[in-house]
Structure 1
Amino acid sequence: MKKTLLVLVLIVFTACYQETAIVIEGDFIASFVRGDESVPVNLLIINKITGADTYEWTFEGGSPSTSSSKDPGEILYEKVGTYFIKLTATNVDGETKVFTKTIVVKDGIKIQFSNEVLKSNYSPVEVVVTNNTVGEGFLYSWDFQGGTPAKFIGKTPPNVIFTSPGDHKISLTVSNGFENETQIQTIKVSPYLVSMFTYEPATEDDDYEAPVKIILTNSSISATHYKWSFQNGLPATSIDENPTVVFTTPGSHEISLEAFNDKTSQVFNRIIDVKANTNLRVFTNIKLGTNAAHNNNTIGAMFSTITRTVYKANEITNDNSNLIDIVFQGLNSNFTYNKFISPDQVSSNGFLTLKNAQNTIFVNYQSRCNCGLNFTESQFDAMVNDTPLKSLNIEYTAGGYQEFGLIYPRIILFKTQEGKKGAIKIKDMVKNGTSSYILIDIKIQKQ
């Protein structure tokens, strides 16, 4: 009877013990710190497992690679890859349970690409784009502003063609699945080629009479070299950027410029009209002041047919004084005493001395020179070439050099130191105190 009771007690005790055994259950959480999944990354381990007394962690590719802590905290991954995390949990009852997870550590995005223009930046521009971005598993999205193609998906894009002048953006966006990075570079396309030029005659040839020297100014756009052709010109051709050309015969002459770059060429033409040579240069409405106007720097009394300039006293220098060939002497604003004088005689007539002054012969009074001169106003007005001047015997005489009064229109004859003959027509005498002046036209031989 006692033996039977003992057996029953043991059975009840054993049944109670089995019901209170501890069970290992739950799981652990592995999450990327700040959601950053690209190397280097920190993985935070949060242990939600219950019923375990010991923990053995294995972090493949991680640092640390193992741990026996219940909560190992953050694990560092510095290389791209797919890694296993293994946890072996045990308890005092001898229960063991294994938990595993797989994580994917992605590559960090460091965009690197370059572009190379083939040939030149003149339209059309072909660009080679080279993607040097390091990493695996990326998605590449290209945008070529104004280019062909306009877009491309993939690591290595084809060559891109840009035709419109201006700046064009090349944009690369790289994604690793959870973050994007974008880099932009710029391609500059030069303007379309335009062949163009302007021209002007040399100062001494502004009347466009043969021979005439033409100075050319190249204003072409996006050109690298040039080919000029000059119809009937000297030279006939040129490859200079800004040449000069001389036309020796009257008529219409074509100037042609072909401008090139490494992509294309274009031709631009203009016509130059050259007149017959009259050997006569004409100046109109020249104001020459009295002595007071000149010395007060109001209106100059000295003129150069070479520079075509009227000079006041303060404008005369050692560099231009020897170019002055006409000087007017007006002693007062009432014009009671007037004379054109030789530049080398100015110091004796109320002006400062001119350095290296020219000698010009003037006939102020034709009727008193006793030299057979009688060149009239109507002859002056009708003169269209130098033929009437050629036969004039212009020499110095005391009578012809005399002063004259307030009588105009009036013709003054002269001959420069170079032997060029000319005539001056006084059209008006304007009384204005110390700003008084005469108004004249001049016709003079070129050679």
Structure 2
Amino acid sequence: MKKALLLLVFIAITSCYQETSIAVEGDFTASYVNGDESIPVIIKIDSKITGADTYEWTFEGGSPSTSNLKNPGEVLYDKQGTYTIKLRAVNADGESKEISKTVVIREGINIDFTHEIIKSNYSPVEVVLTNNTLGEGLMYKWDFENGVPSDFTGKTPPNVIFTTVGEHAITLTVSNGFESQKLTKTINVEPILASLFLYQPKFENDDYETPVTISFINKSISATSYKWTFQGGNPATSTEENPTVVFTSIGIHEVTLEVSNDKTSQIFKSIITVQPDTNIRVLTNIKLGINTAHNNNNIGAMFSTTTRQVYKANEINDQNSGLIDIVFQGLNSNLTYNKFISPDQVNNYGFLNLKNAQSTVFVNSQSLCNCGLNFTEAQFDAMVNDTPIKSLNINYSAAGEQQFGFIYPRIILFKTQDGRKGAIKIKDMVKNGPSSYILCDIKVQKQ
């Protein structure tokens, strides 16, 4: 009887124990630390498992690769890919639970590319691009400002052509699906080749009478070499950028400039006409003021046939005073007493002394000089070379230098210190108070 009772109690206790056994339950989470999905990536494991006594973690591709802790904490991934995290949790009763989760580890972005210009950066510019960005599973988007093509999707773009002058941006955007980075570099495109030149005759040759010395001013764009051809010139050819050439033959001369760079070449042509030498310089509408106008710095009374300039008192210096060869004296504003005087005598006529002053002979009155001169206004107007005045005997005489009054037009003859002969035609005399002046044309032999 007692044995039976003990058996029943044992069965009851055993049944009660089995009913209260603990099951393995719950889950775990795997999260990106700082939300960073690009390598290197740290995954934080947070276990919510209950009822387990042992834990077997497997971290595919991670470091560490395994763990037996309930909460293994953080796992490091340094390679791109999709990896599985496995947990097998077991308790003392033999209860177990297996859980698997996947994490996606994206490639880190270390963007880099280079660009190389084929030949030079003169338009059109062809650019070779080399993508040096490392990694797998990345997406690439290229943008080429004003380029052809204007954009491209893919790791290795084609060569790009730029024709527009200026700076152009080349931008590469790299994405791993989670984040993206941009890198921009610029190229500069120089203008397309153009051949062009200007020319300037030497000051004393600006009438283009033979011989003519001309300086050529290169205005070409994007040129690296120059080939000049001068028809009838000396030299006949040149490779200088800005040559100087002498033309001695009369007529039309063609000048050609062929420029080139490493892309192409281009030609520009122009015509220069050389006239016969008249040996005379024609100067028109020269305004010469009376003494007051000159000394008040309103209208100059002194002139240089070399520089072809009128000088007021405040414009005369040590450099130009020795070049002045014509001086007009207008004694009063009514222009009743006038004469041309030699520069080396100006201090006797109300002007300041000129340094290194020249000596010029003037015949203010041909009719009074008794020197056999009768050069008329008609002869002056008809003179196209120096023949009419070449044989004139222009010498100093007291009678010839006499003053003249308010009578015009009139012709004044002169001879400069260096022997050049010339004639002045007064074509107007303007009364304007202290700014009165005469207006004249001058024809003088060349130096």
TM-score range, shorter chain: over 0.9
Amino acid corresponding to residue 276 of structure 2 in structure 1: A
- Length-normalised TM-score, structure 1: 0.93
Amino acid corresponding to residue 310 of structure 2 in structure 1: V
Identity %: 70
Once the two structures are TM-superposed, the CA of residue 328 in structure 1 deviates from its matched residue by 0.5
Amino acid corresponding to residue 437 of structure 2 in structure 1: Y
Q: Give distance in 1, aligned partners of 2:224 and 2:286.
A: 45
1:125 aligns with: 125
Once the two structures are TM-superposed, the CA of residue 47 in structure 1 deviates from its matched residue by 1.9
Amino acid corresponding to residue 18 of structure 1 in structure 2: Q
Q: Give distance in 1, aligned partners of 2:371 and 2:46.
A: 127
Question: What's the CA shift string for 1:93-148, capped at 9, x where partnerless?
Answer: 34344544443433321211111112100123222212222333322232334434
Aligned with 2:128: secondary structure?
strand
Aligned with 2:359: secondary structure?
coil
Greater displacement, 79-88 / 360-369: 79-88
Aligned with 1:11: secondary structure?
helix
1:388 aligns with: 388
Amino acid corresponding to residue 226 of structure 1 in structure 2: Y
1:24 aligns with: 24
Question: What's the CA shift string for 1:414-445, capped at 9, x where partnerless?
Answer: 01111111000111111122111111110111
Aligned with 1:440: secondary structure?
strand
Q: Give distance in 2, aligned partners of 1:151 and 1:312.
A: 68
Q: List gaps (5 residues or longer) in structure 1.
A: none
Once the two structures are TM-superposed, the CA of residue 324 in structure 1 deviates from its matched residue by 0.6
Q: Give distance in 1, aligned partners of 2:235 and 2:305.
A: 29
Aligned with 1:388: secondary structure?
helix
Q: Give distance in 2, aligned partners of 1:92 and 1:329.
A: 134
Give the alignment of 1:36-435 within 5 angstroms. Answer: 36-55=36-55, 57=57, 59=59, 70-78=70-78, 80=80, 85-435=85-435
Q: Give distance in 1, aligned partners of 2:312 and 2:161.
A: 63
Once the two structures are TM-superposed, the CA of residue 33 in structure 1 deviates from its matched residue by 2.8
Once the two structures are TM-superposed, the CA of residue 237 in structure 1 deviates from its matched residue by 1.0
Amino acid corresponding to residue 258 of structure 2 in structure 1: E
Q: Give distance in 1, aligned partners of 2:67 and 2:302.
A: 107
Q: Give distance in 2, aligned partners of 1:406 and 1:263.
A: 70
Q: Give distance in 1, aligned partners of 2:68 and 2:334.
A: 123
Once the two structures are TM-superposed, the CA of residue 305 in structure 1 deviates from its matched residue by 0.9
Once the two structures are TM-superposed, the CA of residue 42 in structure 1 deviates from its matched residue by 3.0
Q: Give distance in 2, aligned partners of 1:434 and 1:313.
A: 15
Amino acid corresponding to residue 347 of structure 2 in structure 1: S
Q: Give distance in 1, aligned partners of 2:375 and 2:434.
A: 32
Aligned with 1:426: secondary structure?
strand
- Length-normalised TM-score, structure 2: 0.93
Once the two structures are TM-superposed, the CA of residue 307 in structure 1 deviates from its matched residue by 0.8
Once the two structures are TM-superposed, the CA of residue 402 in structure 1 deviates from its matched residue by 1.3
Once the two structures are TM-superposed, the CA of residue 336 in structure 1 deviates from its matched residue by 2.3
Q: Give distance in 2, aligned partners of 1:151 and 1:431.
A: 77
Q: Give distance in 1, aligned partners of 2:139 and 2:80.
A: 16
Question: What's the CA shift string for 1:48-101, capped at 9, x where partnerless?
Answer: 322224545565665677666544544444555665544443334343445444
Q: Give distance in 2, aligned partners of 1:314 and 1:298.
A: 10
Aligned with 2:434: secondary structure?
helix
Once the two structures are TM-superposed, the CA of residue 344 in structure 1 deviates from its matched residue by 1.0
Greater displacement, 171-180 / 222-231: 171-180
Question: What's the CA shift string for 1:327-378, capped at 9, x where partnerless?
Answer: 0011111222211111111112211111111111111111122211000111
Q: Give distance in 2, aligned partners of 1:394 and 1:269.
A: 47
Question: What's the CA shift string for 1:8-36, capped at 9, x where partnerless?
Answer: 44333323322221111232111213431
Q: Give distance in 2, aligned partners of 1:148 and 1:435.
A: 69
Once the two structures are TM-superposed, the CA of residue 149 in structure 1 deviates from its matched residue by 4.3
Aligned with 1:418: secondary structure?
coil
Greater displacement, 307-316 / 333-342: 333-342
Greater displacement, 3-12 / 286-295: 3-12
Amino acid corresponding to residue 241 of structure 1 in structure 2: E
Q: Give distance in 2, aligned partners of 1:20 and 1:246.
A: 121
Aligned with 1:333: secondary structure?
coil
Question: What's the CA shift string for 1:261-309, capped at 9, x where partnerless?
Answer: 1100000111112222211111111111111111111111000111111
Greater displacement, 23-32 / 33-42: 33-42
Q: Give distance in 2, aligned partners of 1:248 and 1:57.
A: 102
Amino acid corresponding to residue 331 of structure 1 in structure 2: L
Once the two structures are TM-superposed, the CA of residue 253 in structure 1 deviates from its matched residue by 1.1
Contact 2:106–2:178 (Cα < 8 Å) also in 1: no
Aligned with 1:314: secondary structure?
helix
Once the two structures are TM-superposed, the CA of residue 386 in structure 1 deviates from its matched residue by 1.1
Aligned with 1:434: secondary structure?
coil
**Alpha carbon RMSD of aligned pairs, Å?**
2.3
Greater displacement, 149-158 / 419-428: 149-158
Query: How many residues get paired?
Result: 447
Q: Give distance in 2, aligned partners of 1:359 and 1:59.
A: 111
Question: What's the CA shift string for 1:152-197, capped at 9, x where partnerless?
Answer: 4433334333334343332211111221212122222222111111
Aligned with 1:381: secondary structure?
helix
Amino acid corresponding to residue 229 of structure 2 in structure 1: S
Verify: 1:445 aligned to 2:445, yes or no.
Answer: yes
Q: Give distance in 2, aligned partners of 1:337 and 1:50.
A: 131
